[in-house]
Amino acid sequence: MTTAIGTLTKARALPKAAPGTITRRTHPLWFLLPAYALLLVFFVLPTVYQFIYAFTDWSGFKASINPVGTENFAQLASDGTLFRSLRITLVYAVLVAIFQNVFGFGLAVLLERDTVLNRIARTFFLIPVLMSALAVGYIFQALFKGTGLLADTTWTIVVVSLIHAWKWMGLAMLIYLAGLKTVPLDVLEAARIDGASRWRTFWKVRAPLLAPAVTFNVATALLGSMNGFDIVQATTGGGPARTTELLNIFIYRTFGQGLFAQATTMSLVLFLMVVVLAFPVIRLLRKREEVMS
């Protein structure tokens, strides 16, 4: 996925296959048709709709839908919901990105050698990745019941982001392991002959080569947690006192109340936040990758 994200920002040129008549006959454009028709109807169109229906009074209580200007935004901003949910989602995303990468990296370094025990251990760390996030949420709700960990208005957001990171750390570990294995042995040998300590070799030779893995892991953690819902819904339901109410939880709750336009407005806000944040973050990471490697 690193390469995909790079392509989005750098618009890397596709390889120049012989254009013209031959390609037209051997790789016809109509092969794109079904996939792009579906993308257009089920992905692009609803996204365009967001920019329209966020400015209406669409709800479950009225038969007609009328334009109301920026009323939804004004209301969400004035009662504090908009900025609170945005802040909570951002804090959650950043915490998840940090925890998931620290855990994943630590596990990869710990389980790097290909021993039988390590192989088994790696498989165990992949079980949470396979489980539904909803199930993970219930497990930790049960585990933390009575501890007060899920009832603190300040720290619960940290606890839920730790749970999210716990679920996905196995995947981060896999990516880091793949990165660690790509380091050529002769480079390591050269470093050793030059008298570099193990510590120095690790941080100066191996770690920089992990840059693509970092990009992938940070980007997927950020994007995944900005779209987070299941884990938080199952552990806290957005509480206590709405301190863990991510944008998607707000959207889910508001939609359930029949306030469709408000839910759309928040969905549009989430879309815009991802557009504004994801691209610069990915560009930054790609740039750092180039500098380091």
Partner 1 sequence: MSDLPIWRRLQPVAALVLVVALIGIPLWLVVATAGKSQGEAIDPNLSPPTEWHLWDNLRQVWIDADVPAALFGSLLIVVPTVAGVLVLGSMAAWVLARRGSRLTAVLYALGISGIILPPAVVTVVLLLRQLGLAGTAIGMIGVYLGIYLSTVIFFVTGFVRTIPSSLEEAAQIDGAGPVAVFRKVVLPLLRPVLATATILICLYVWNDVFYAFFVVGGRLDTLPLNLFRVASAGLYLNNWHLIFAYVILMSLPLVAVFAVAQRKIISGITGGAVK
Interaction residues for partner 1, span 111-150 (CB under 8 A): 111-113, 115, 117-118, 120-135, 138-143, 145-146
Q: Are 219 and 93 in contact (CB under 8 A)?
A: no
Q: For residue 172, state whether it binds partner 1 (rule: CB under 8 A).
A: no
Tell me which of 156, 234, 242, 244 binds partner 1, using CB under 8 A: 234
Residue span binding partner 1 (CB under 8 A) among the ranges 20-28, 75-83, 91-99, 149-157: 20-28
Q: Are 163 and 228 in contact (CB under 8 A)?
A: no
Half-sphere exposure of 229 (CA within 13 A, CB side): 9
Query: Residue 74 Cβ, how far from partner 1 at the closest point, in Å?
Result: 19
Position of tokens 């596709």? 14
Nearest CA to 234 out of 164, 137, 151, 167 is that of 137
Binding mask 54-93 for partner 1 (x = CB under 8 A): ----x-----------------------------------
Comparison of 61 and 124: residue with beta carbon closer to partner 1: 124
- What SS3 class is residue 44? helix
142 contacts: CB under 8 Å, gap ≥ 6? none
DSSP code, position 127: H
Comparison of 157 and 266: residue with beta carbon closer to partner 1: 266
Binding mask 194-223 for partner 1 (x = CB under 8 A): ----xx--x---------xx--x------x
Beta bridge partners of 56: 67
Q: For residue 165, state whether it binds partner 1 (rule: CB under 8 A).
A: no
45 contacts: CB under 8 Å, gap ≥ 6? none
Q: For residue 238, state whether it binds partner 1 (rule: CB under 8 A).
A: no
Query: Residue 200 Cβ, how far from partner 1 at the closest point, in Å?
Result: 10
